[in-house]
Amino acid sequence: MTADTEQPAGKPSPNDILVPVSKTFYIETFGCQMNAHDSEKVIGTLEHEGYAQVSDEAEAGLILYNTCSIRDKAEQKVFHRLNEYKRLQGEGKRFAVIGCVAQQEGERIFERAPYVSIVAGSASYRNLPDMLARLEAGETRITGLDDRQTEETFDTEFTVRSNPHRGYITIIEGCDKFCAYCVVPYTRGKERSRTSASVLVEARRMADQGYTDIQLLGQNVNSWRDPSGRLSFAELLTAVGSTPGIKRVRFTTSHPRDFTRDIVEAIDATPTLCDHIHLPVQSGSSSVLHAMSREYTRDWYLERMSWIHSAKRDISITSDMIVGFPGETDADFEETITLLGAVRYDAVFAFKFSPRPNTPAVGMPDTISDEVKTERLRILNDRQREIQREHYARHLGQTVEVMVESYNAARGQIVGRSTQNKTVNFTLVPDALEPPIGSYLPIRITRTMPNCLVGESIAGALPLQTTLQAQPFVVLN
């Protein structure tokens, strides 16, 4: 290991005794699906560079920490974790901090945790092979922080997916929307889309490997624009959904500003496109939406909802909401509550506002007490739960197709997921064969809850509609 971490640019000095980096790595990942999938690509890149993944940090030569800065006090949590790593530095391990907090805190990480060797934001991951080579050459302060203006995406054929049936494909990276509360445009750089050809090649490769369920990812997935000019977003959905062997296609997260009617038409026309749209609204009040720089109004959002409500298929709608944004009055909050009733979401992920570093909202007077925010969050969640209790009841007696995900031995149930992204806990008809994980089968719904459906398989006759090999059950403890 280089003894001198105070070398100006982190270069090894001639007097340093280099200890080779042990080519094993351990990765910890926090945050959203984009981060989870970034880690899958980072793992694939490392393995291609000759590194082997281990499941215990004690066995790793390189420890990577893929960070998320969305939640409150994210930076503090990262530095706290790095402090825990400190005890491992004497064992010759190297450390890399990657992801949003890495981009946000930059070289400050080296100051506070001098045993860290790599600090890199997601826009720099395509340079990982070079960073690893420099690490192996003994450099101690390697950064990948200057790429937020890059036009390039991190396309790699070496992705190591953790689930053998359902996989992600990132189609667009970064964000140009600059909502007042959000760090993403500062941490993930500007929007850049992959070509339709490269997305479709990856979808076909996944289908050939036995994947049947693909989720297209982007911070604003429907802002995707084909750099080759061939396909619109709705046409890309149809094309991915038409890939032989693919049974389900989802996409997340959509932005209302880029939500066009042809997306609903594509879902209506293409059976493999899932009956589910996640369309974050954030607030039901036009004045709060304006303060958030969301650049749409309540009515404009509701018009998009009316397109979805009038679709031929029963499309499930879910959303994200923030309560207690600076300036949100009781009347504004009431508009959020009435919006819940107007849309009748199947799920809402609601959070109390907390200012994130370097965002415009930091400068807004945050006059709403935490007590009020907490109370508004409780009211919202209670109202939404009532709606879900009523709304989920529409499935009673229906037969839905589920993809088998796991087996709950304690409850004697199998856990599956419907095309609407709902959890379905079910039992088999007597003497039926256990369905393999990743297979599909029809389930009759016998009971509904606010967050899941309960049912029973309607046929003991398997095999199922799947191209997959039989796999043992995952038994949940």
Min. distance of Cβ 174 from ligand SF4 in angstroms?
Answer: 9
Residue 121 is a binding residue for ligand SF4 (CB under 6 A): no
Look at the chain and count its residues: 477
Position 185 contacts ligand SF4 (CB under 6 A): yes
Among 109, 120, 123, 182, which residue sits at the site for ligand SF4 (rule: CB under 6 A)? Answer: 182
Of 147, 220, 223, residue with least CA distance to 186: 147
- CB closer to ligand SF4 out of 220 and 272: 220
Q: Does 184 bind ligand SF4 (CB under 6 A)?
A: yes
**Interaction of residue 178 with ligand SF4, rule CB under 6 A:** yes
Residue 169 within binding range of ligand SF4, rule CB under 6 A: no
Burial label for 10, CB within 10 Å (0-12, 13-18, 19+), is: buried
| Closer residue to ligand SF4, CB minimum distance, 121 or 185 | 185
Q: Which is nearer to ligand SF4, 277 or 402 (CB)?
A: 277
Is residue 179 part of the contact set for ligand SF4 (CB under 6 A)? yes
Contact between 175 and ligand SF4 per CB under 6 A: yes
Report the alpha-carbon distance of residue 264 to residue 81 in Å, rounded.
44
Residues 234 to 293 in contact with ligand SF4, rule: CB under 6 A: 255
Residue closer to ligand SF4 by CB (options 181, 426) is 181
Smallest gap from residue 235 Cβ to ligand SF4 (A): 23
Residue 199 interacting with ligand SF4 (CB under 6 A): no
Contact indicator for 154, 126 with CB cutoff of 8 Å: yes
- Strands of 94-99's sheet in order across: 52-53, 24-29, 62-67, 94-99, 116-120, 142-144
Q: How far is CA 472 from CA 247, 263, 353, 436, 439, in A?
A: 21, 37, 43, 7, 12
Which residue lies nearer to ligand SF4 by CB, 184 or 279?
Answer: 184
Token readout for 344 is 């009748």
CB atoms within 10 A of CB 19: 13
Closer residue to ligand SF4 (CB): 179 or 237: 179
Q: How far apart are CA 369 and CA 417, in angstroms?
A: 39
Binding letters toward ligand SF4, positions 316-355, x by CB under 6 A:
----------------------------------------
Report the nearest approach of ligand SF4 to the CB of residue 97 (Å).
Answer: 21
**Is 32 annotated as a binding-site member?**
yes
- Residue pair 224/254 in contact (Cβ under 8 Å)? The answer is no
Total site size for ligand SF4, rule CB under 6 A? 10
Residue with tokens 């709304």: 391
Q: For ligand SF4, which is the closer residue by CB, 99 or 185?
A: 185
Q: Which is nearer to ligand SF4, 182 or 424 (CB)?
A: 182
Contact string (CB under 6 A) for ligand SF4, positions 212-241, x = contact: -------xx---------------------
428 binds ligand SF4 per the rule CB under 6 A: no
Q: Which amino acid is at 215?
A: Q
Residue indicated by tokens 């879910």: 318
274 marked ligand binding residue: no
Q: How far is the CB of 296 from ligand SF4 (least distance, A)?
A: 11
455 makes contact with ligand SF4 (CB under 6 A): no
SS3 content of the chain, % helix, strand, coil (to 5): 35, 20, 45
- If we measure between CA atoms, which residue out of 339, 251, 244, 246 comes closest to residue 288? 339
Q: Considering only CA atoms, which of 125, 94, 127, 80 is closest in space to residue 22?
A: 94
175 marked ligand binding residue: yes
The closest alpha carbon to 320, from 133, 144, 179, belongs to: 179
CB 178, CB 185: distance < 8 Å: yes
Tell me if 445 contacts ligand SF4 by CB under 6 A: no
Is residue 182 marked as binding? yes
Neighbours of 345 (CB within 10 A): 23
| Residue 440, H or E segment | strand 440-448
Query: Any known ligand binding at 452?
Result: no
Selected range binding ligand SF4 among 89-97, 171-179, 239-247, 300-308, rule: CB under 6 A: 171-179
Give the integer Cα–Cα distance in Å for 291 and 252. Answer: 24
Binding segment (CB under 6 A) for ligand SF4, from list 74-82, 176-184, 421-429, 456-464: 176-184
- Which part of the chain contacts ligand SF4 (CB under 6 A), choosing from 29-37, 87-95, 175-183, 242-250? 175-183
Taking the CA atoms of 395, 243, 310 and 258 in sequence, report the sign of the dihedral they define: positive
Range in contact with ligand SF4 (rule: CB under 6 A) among 24-32, 179-187, 384-392, 410-418? 179-187
Q: Name the site residues for ligand SF4 (rule: CB under 6 A).
A: 175, 177-179, 182, 184-185, 219-220, 255
In the annotated binding site for [4Fe-4S] cluster, the residues are 32, 68, 100, 175, 179, 182
In the annotated binding site, the residues are 32, 68, 100, 175, 179, 182
